Amino acid sequence: MTANPILLQKKYTRIIQHFSEKEKLSLDDALSFFYHSTLYQLISEGVSDLHCMSDEYLAEELHSEYKESQPLA
């Protein structure tokens, strides 16, 4: 299933906002991470209808991907 491009852009915005707040990142940093993430690639390719999942769920998935990408402290 293919999502409407305008609605998809709005969804991306909400995901990035949730992610930014959760990680206490600037919107620019959250935006950059999102557009370089595996999650973005999967959503934009329409894999498994991920765009149908809730914004909060997708932000949590992005959070998990972000944590995995960070070096251990």
> pLDDT tens digits, residue range 18-60?
999 999 999 999 999 999 999 999 998 888 889 999 999 999 9
Q: How far apart are CA 35 and CA 51, in angstroms?
A: 15
Does residue 38 fall inside a structural domain? yes
Query: Is the residue at 40 inside a domain?
Result: yes
Q: Is 25 contained in some domain? A: yes
Structure tokens at 47: 């894999």
pLDDT at 73: 62
How many domains in the chain? Answer: 1
**Is the pTM value of this prediction over 0.85?**
yes
- Select the more confidently predicted residue: 2 or 8: 8
Of residues 3 and 43, the one with the higher pLDDT is 43
What gap in Å lies between CA 72 and CA 5, rounded to an integer?
37
Q: Is residue 56 part of a domain?
A: yes
Domain interval for residue 55: 5-65
Q: Does a structural domain hold residue 50?
A: yes
Asked if the structure places residue 71 within a domain, the reply is: no
The pLDDT of residue 48 is 81
Residue 17 lies in a domain: yes
pLDDT at site 45:
87
